[in-house]
Amino acid sequence: MNSRVNPMRVTTPPDSKRSMACLPARPGQLAGAEGIESELPSLDTATIRRDFPILQRQVHGKPLVYLDNAATSQKPRRVIQALVDYYEGMNANIHRGVHALAEEATDAYEAARQRIGRFIGATEPAEVLFTRNTTEAINLVAATWARENVRAGDDILITAMEHHSNIVPWQWVAERQGARLKYVEFGPGGEIKLDEVASLLTPRTKLVSMVHMSNVLGTINPVADVARLAHDAGALMLVDGAQSVPHLPVNVADLGCDFLAFSSHKMLGPTGVGVLWGRRDLLDQMPPFLGGGEMIDLVGRERSTYNALPWKYEAGTPNIADVIAFSTAVDYLSELGMDRVRAHELELVAYALEQLGSVPGITLYGPDALQRRGGVASFSIEGVHPHDLGQIVDYEGVAIRVGQHCCQPAMESLKVGGTARASFYVYNTPDEVDTLVRALLQAQEMFS
């Protein structure tokens, strides 16, 4: 059997030969399962790596090989410095003070909103709402828009590959309001079919909420096509962009979605900051999420009126320093160029799938076609528990993710208890893939 990853899962026998179909011909050229190529200039990973202080450290006496980027990314020095600069030079609350520090902090915070909005193609900064993370952004829609618009007998459509943060809020809506939660199943290639989506849409469908890029399979879903189907059926479209916005060029107009949620910490920024982008006409109509300071206009003893967008949804003192640092991370990615970020990761995942395919007894999960997958390689090795794999490769300085990846329904569909996952970003190299493969071969030999 050919060791090149085939749709969904292929177990590679020990004597299999490596396919060359996935190997990049040269830096900057991508050769995928369907022959796609890109002549974009390659990222200078040697220079990029010097920007990340943590990559200089050792783990168990070995150089750190960080391949857990789908969980959280590392931070460049300029992002770390942005936090220091805020606390050393302008630490003050925003929007409320007239003194110099308050005005400087307010200007920096609102400038961050503008830059992050431009990064995703928002038409105006007021459509960008700051939350704590992607999970809170999705919950905001569930607690406000869905509360007002979903009724008994209505449908909410999601997929079987969703992260728990895009399942549990809709389960709550369905339970609370008597709606039905429907699932689009993914096929043997780890992909959904548009005709199945269309078959599940009815006049009672109020929302389709779908991950753009799967954190387990690496699948890049055709969300723009799904959005068109949803709108034709009279439904809205929410896109979970936690994995896609850090790794692909994303423009909300191109996606055609109504809401987009994503997080700072997966795209070189600090933890504790997320974004919900929404169409202004929807946000204007939705009720507030939390009550308190900043989100109000006038407060009386019996009732209150609310602030304008976006502050209607940002009650209390926000995470000022981390929002400002997030915009620094966005600037860093913009300077690299998201097309080049995507090209770099395609090269890496192509090489990784090829090299992983040489490990005896390995099963690889996800789409065969490179242009329909991101920089994620999930796998299992026959006879070796994923947690054992994670511990053994950690002794070699390699950080990967193991377990269910907050996607238990997807694991049920795959009929596995969990997987190991390597995920790549702008600072990863083919040499690090080789280190991972050597560590996996050691693990396989140990348990064989």
- Residues annotated as part of the active site: 406
* Amino acid making up residue 362: I
The Cα 59–Cα 52 span in angstroms is: 16
Local structure of residue 20 (DSSP, 8 states): S
Tell me the two tokens of residue 43: 């990222």
Nearest CA to 5 among 404, 426, 379, 436?
A: 379
Cis peptide before 249 (omega within 30 of 0): no
Which of 380, 372, 362 is CA-nearest to residue 421? 380
| Angstrom distance (rounded) from CA 320 to CA 110 | 10
Among 107, 108, 125, 104, which Cα is nearest to 116's? Answer: 125
Q: State phi, psi for 257 to the nearest 5 degrees.
A: -85, 170
DSSP-assigned beta bridge partners for residue 263: 274
Tokens of 241: 């962009």
Q: Kindly give the residue spans of alpha helices, DSSP state H, lying in 132-222.
A: 134-143, 145-149, 168-177, 194-200
